[in-house]
Amino acid sequence: MLLAQVILVLRIPQTLATALAFLINIETVVSSESDLFESDQLTVQLITDVTAISPGDPFLVGLFLKPKAGYHTYWKGPGIVGVATDIRWQLPTGFSAGDIIWPAPDRVDMVGFNAHGYNGETCLLVEIDTPKKIETDLVNLKAKATWMCCDKTCHPGFADFELILPVNSSRKPALKIEERRLLFQRTLDTVPPKSPDDWTISAQLVTRDSIELNVMIPNLKGKNVDNIYFFCYDLQVNSDISQKVTLTNLNGPRISFSLARPDFAPDNPKTLEGVIYHPSGWPDLNSNYAEISFDWPAGDIRK
């Protein structure tokens, strides 16, 4: 009897420890969102819409940035001022992260300078690929994000984020968080589509300081070119100098952009890429934005 009592006493701490570890594990599993970063300028959080990771199935995570009133963050091609948001990943073996999926940009004002970014909240999505076999019950996804948030002053920021998700061992698809699923879908709906194959895109270096971009667009209606704008992916175009846009119909509708090239433009870029915006929308795309790309002839761009 005494021996049984001693064994029971010895087992109680182990039982409590096991129960405590179990409770901690439950708390850890429920982490489809990271801790919230908050400053005087914005809040930032890493989120996902899945409740568990299914081996072999890709899923989306999003960096959700919510600037305070009057502040903005920056797009992948911020222009001559600003810094694009960046995410660096630390993932388990066999996992990989794609590029940021950028929603369509706005024109933002940084103390009188025209730039490209987001005046309100935005969700930057990344697709995570998973291995077909995952040995652990939990998966840690770690990311370091950096950003610039500006109003009358600019505030660079960075933070580490972490998601800890269980592995879905069943053959059934993992449940999704509906509110997040809808947020991610709204975000994907704003991503600029690629221009149709029947668009003809060309460009030339008119002078050392200027580029002419031409886009032939079948079925383009109307003559108003007000507020049509080219968002360049890199520094080949000076975002702070007004773009001159004209429309001609000699051999079909053609929009021409006269673009200023900054002194610090890249030497001999291989492509001229970006997004063109039309306030009335582009034909056959159901979008106000279209992604375009032109391959420069070798040696065509020089300082």
Question: Are both 225 and 282 inside the same structural domain?
Answer: yes
Say whether pLDDT at 165 is over 80: yes
CATH, residue 263: 2.60.40
> So what's the pLDDT on residue 167?
95
> So what's the pLDDT on residue 170?
86
List, in order, residues 6 or more apart from 4 with CB less than 8 Å away: none
Greater model confidence, 297 or 191: 191
The mean pLDDT value for 71-75 works out to 98
- Residues 126 and 61 sit within 8 Å (Cβ to Cβ): yes
- Token digits of residue 67: 């600037």
Say whether pLDDT at 24 is over 80: no
Which region among 24-28, 120-124, 175-179 has the lowest average model confidence (pLDDT)?
24-28
Domain range for 223 is 200-295
In a domain, 194, yes or no: no
Mark which of 189, 212, 231 sits at the end of a domain. 189
The mean pLDDT value for 121-134 works out to 97
Question: Are both 159 and 280 inside the same structural domain?
Answer: no
Which region among 18-32, 154-168, 288-302 has the lowest average model confidence (pLDDT)?
18-32
Place of tokens 């795309």: 285
> So what's the pLDDT on residue 25?
45
Question: Are both 96 and 117 inside the same structural domain?
Answer: yes
Which region among 9-13, 30-34, 90-94, 247-251 has the lowest average model confidence (pLDDT)?
9-13
pLDDT digits (tens, 9 = 90+) for 30-62: 489 999 999 999 999 999 999 999 999 999 999
Q: What stretches of the chain show up as alpha helix (H) in DSSP?
A: 2-29, 178-189
Question: Are both 118 and 223 inside the same structural domain?
Answer: no
In a domain, 250, yes or no: yes
Question: Are both 98 and 132 inside the same structural domain?
Answer: yes
> So what's the pLDDT on residue 299?
58
Question: Are both 140 and 248 inside the same structural domain?
Answer: no
CATH, residue 152: 2.60.40.1250
Domain count, the chain: 2
> So what's the pLDDT on residue 223?
83
pLDDT digits (tens, 9 = 90+) for 269-291: 999 999 999 999 999 999 999 99
Question: Are both 154 and 179 inside the same structural domain?
Answer: yes
Question: Are both 37 and 158 inside the same structural domain?
Answer: yes
The mean pLDDT value for 200-209 works out to 94
In a domain, 195, yes or no: no
Phi, psi (rounded to 5 degrees) for 293:
-150, 140
The mean pLDDT value for 204-209 works out to 92
Question: Are both 156 and 217 inside the same structural domain?
Answer: no
Mark which of 150, 167, 189 sits at the end of a domain. 189
Phi, psi (rounded to 5 degrees) for 73:
-115, 180
The mean pLDDT value for 132-140 works out to 95
> So what's the pLDDT on residue 301?
57
Say whether pLDDT at 114 is over 50: yes
If one counts every other C-beta atom within 10 angstroms of the C-beta of residue 145, the result is: 22
In a domain, 114, yes or no: yes
Question: Are both 51 and 167 inside the same structural domain?
Answer: yes
How far is residue 73's CA from residue 122's CA, in Å, rounded to a whole number?
9
The rounded mean pLDDT for the chain is 89
Has this prediction a pTM greater than 0.95? no
Burial class (CB in 10 A: 0-12, 13-18, 19+), 219: exposed
In angstroms, what CA-CA distances link 108 with 76, 80, 105, 128?
13, 12, 9, 30
In a domain, 303, yes or no: no
Say whether pLDDT at 209 is over 50: yes
- Token digits of residue 88: 């660096």
How far is residue 101's CA from residue 123's CA, in Å, rounded to a whole number?
9
Question: Are both 53 and 180 inside the same structural domain?
Answer: yes
Greatest alpha-carbon span in the chain: 104
Question: Are both 174 and 234 inside the same structural domain?
Answer: no
List of long-range contacts for 4-9, beta carbons under 8 Å, 24+ apart: none
- CA torsion sign for 257, 262, 267, 270 is negative
> So what's the pLDDT on residue 267?
85
Mark which of 143, 159, 189 sits at the end of a domain. 189
How far is residue 74's CA from residue 102's CA, in Å, rounded to a whole number?
10
In a domain, 6, yes or no: no
CB burial of 149-176 (b: ≥16 within 10 Å; e: otherwise) equals: bbbeebeebebebebbbbbbeeeeebeb
In a domain, 127, yes or no: yes
Percent of the chain with pLDDT over 90: 80
pLDDT digits (tens, 9 = 90+) for 220-279: 988 889 999 999 999 999 999 999 999 999 888 999 999 999 999 998 899 999 999 999
